[in-house]
Amino acid sequence: MREAQKSGTYVVVIDPRRTVTARSADLHLQPRPATDGALALGLMQVIFDENLHHEAWLDAHGHGWRELRERAAEYPPERVAAITGLEAQTIVDLARRYATTKPALLKTADGVQRHANGGQTFRALLCLPAIIGQYGVRGGGLSYSTGGYAPWNNAALSHADEHLPTPRTINMNRLGAALLGEVSDPPIKSLFVYCANPVGSTPNAGLIVEGLQREDLFTVVHEQFMTDTADYADIVLPATSQLEHVDLHRPYGHRNLQYNHAAIAPLGESKSNWDVSRLLAQAMGYNEPWLHQNGEDVIREVLDASRAHSPYLEGITLERLQAEGTVPLHFTPANDVPFADGYFATPSGKVELYSAAMATRGLDPLPHYEEPAEYAAARAQGDAGLILISGAAHHFVSSSLANQPGLRAKEGTPFVEINPPMRARAAFNTACKCGWRTAAAGVSYARW
């Protein structure tokens, strides 16, 4: 990104927090948390109102853009300014810059949709490149993840086409309620946890803990550490680390497949997820051959089946991965720009700005902004309210690798950033018994 800036790229970061990326941006806008959807609709309103949209492209490749224009008209800059806390002129200026810069790329990640209106927020963001005709343009469009370049063949991955019973699914956000009786036909009697720590990372942790304490629930946790969830397990099975088992890594930030060789033999009695599953299948009397394959056989089968349906996997075999370690996905002039052919995998073959599928389900077929419940509750109490954002650590991901002393030392002790207008809330300081310090930038911190 910095190299692009040196070549003239104008970088705008939209984030309530002043992140490391924001510090080096040409422009940093700090909307109120969870108001990005309103900002996106406000940008559309300006673009449509000033005829900066690409009407020919929308007619050829967009479905429902006129309906979207009517929805966007409900979000003039003044209304969006009141919602986001940004200046109305700032919104107008950004809309003009975005619509007239070619190519223009939106880069998003996960934080922008982690709230109650997250789905509609992301829909609004996805509409922006369409209305200025930037999909199918080299360097334009929207970038979220590169994982879609290498979709796995579902039949090879799950063997669901072999007339096997389809396992039921339970919303992870409702795990606590499900354990406590929300799911009762039949009730959950056993829980096998791997690659997860729901007590530490899933909503309503209190309900989850209560559910895990049921006498009639049998819980197994397959882990490398005694996590918060492992504390409530009936059995904890030792898991291998990445250094101890074979694996295949699909990208979500770059464009390569990576083969993970086992660097050492598994320590102690630790086993990989796959090996534990194989042993369980054997002990329970399942005889399907694919349940007893080793890791290399599974990777070969999935790769071979997926390669037949994805041009990006052409020429990538297990043997090549094992020999080279990292293999770039296969790109040609015909497929190296997404949507360059103007086709989209939707019922209409176009960008569906108006979603008939959502309308048939009683959902809003157009993106809209919905005020977070926290804002409404705070306003009802005559208070501006404090909105909590769980900022990401710079040196580790959630708790992964946070056991490394060197990384913990670089990250520093945990702290809370408080917006300057909130400094007067002495009650917060008293209740938390926190010591205050003021940073040079004028942001207050509570440390403990």
Q: Examine the domain organization and report whether 126 and 223 are in the same domain.
A: no
Q: Examine the domain organization and report whether 412 and 308 are in the same domain.
A: no
Q: Identify the pLDDT of residue 444.
A: 34
Q: Examine the domain organization and report whether 301 and 172 are in the same domain.
A: yes
Instruction: Answer whether residue 285 is part of any domain.
Output: yes
Per-residue pLDDT for 343 more than 70?
A: yes
Residue 442 confidence class, pLDDT cut points 50, 70, 90: very low
Residue 328 confidence class, pLDDT cut points 50, 70, 90: very high
Write down which residue in 306, 328, 350 finishes a domain: 328
Q: Identify the pLDDT of residue 440.
A: 33
Residue 6 tokens, joined? 């040196």
User: To which residue do tokens 């991955």 refer?
Assistant: 157
Q: Examine the domain organization and report whether 99 and 46 are in the same domain.
A: yes
Q: Identify the pLDDT of residue 421.
A: 57
Per-residue pLDDT for 434 more than 60?
A: no
Instruction: Answer whether residue 317 is part of any domain.
Output: yes
Tell which wins on pLDDT, 183 or 72.
72
Residue 332 phi, psi (nearest 5): -130, 165
* Tens-digit pLDDT profile for residues 308-323: 989 999 999 999 999 9
Instruction: Answer whether residue 145 is part of any domain.
Output: no
Q: Identify the pLDDT of residue 86.
A: 97
User: To which residue do tokens 């904890």 refer?
Assistant: 236
Residue 392 phi, psi (nearest 5): -75, 145
Q: What's the number of domains the chain is made of? A: 3
As a whole number, mean pLDDT of residues 6-23 equals 93
**How is the beta sheet containing 435-438 ordered, strand by strand?**
415-418, 444-447, 435-438
Q: Examine the domain organization and report whether 158 and 267 are in the same domain.
A: yes
Residue 303 tokens, joined? 């790769």
* Tens-digit pLDDT profile for residues 367-401: 999 988 878 877 787 776 677 787 788 888 877 88
Cα separation of 77 and 92, whole Å? 7
* Tens-digit pLDDT profile for residues 77-128: 999 999 999 999 999 999 999 999 999 999 998 888 888 888 999 999 999 9
Cα separation of 385 and 378, whole Å? 5
Residue 411 neighbours by CB distance under 10 Å: 14
Percent of the chain with pLDDT over 70: 93
- Reduced to 3 states, what is the DSSP secondary structure of residue 227? coil
Per-residue pLDDT for 350 more than 90?
A: yes
Instruction: Answer whether residue 228 is part of any domain.
Output: yes
Instruction: Answer whether residue 9 is part of any domain.
Output: no
Q: Identify the pLDDT of residue 130.
A: 98
Q: Identify the pLDDT of residue 396.
A: 84
As a whole number, mean pLDDT of residues 241-265 equals 94
Residue 420 confidence class, pLDDT cut points 50, 70, 90: low
Q: Examine the domain organization and report whether 196 and 302 are in the same domain.
A: yes
Percent helix, strand, coil in the chain, to 5, is: 40, 15, 45
As a whole number, mean pLDDT of residues 256-260 equals 96
Rounded to the nearest integer, the mean pLDDT of the chain is 89
Q: Identify the pLDDT of residue 185.
A: 87
Instruction: Answer whether residue 369 is part of any domain.
Output: no
Q: Examine the domain organization and report whether 267 and 196 are in the same domain.
A: yes
Cα separation of 191 and 183, whole Å? 13
Q: Examine the domain organization and report whether 344 and 314 are in the same domain.
A: no
User: To which residue do tokens 């039921």 refer?
Assistant: 168
Cα separation of 322 and 99, whole Å? 46
* Tens-digit pLDDT profile for residues 26-82: 999 999 999 999 999 999 999 999 999 999 999 999 999 999 999 999 999 999 999
Per-residue pLDDT for 341 more than 70?
A: yes
Cα separation of 40 and 44, whole Å? 6
Domain that holds residue 287: 154-328
Q: Examine the domain organization and report whether 321 and 348 are in the same domain.
A: no
Instruction: Answer whether residue 266 is part of any domain.
Output: yes
CB 156 within 8 A of CB 308: no
CATH number of the structural domain spanning residue 356: 3.40.228.10
Q: Examine the domain organization and report whether 275 and 310 are in the same domain.
A: yes
- pTM for this one? 0.85
Q: Examine the domain organization and report whether 395 and 319 are in the same domain.
A: no
Angle between helices 36-49 and 88-100 (to 10 degrees): 70
Instruction: Answer whether residue 26 is part of any domain.
Output: no
Q: Examine the domain organization and report whether 207 and 73 are in the same domain.
A: no
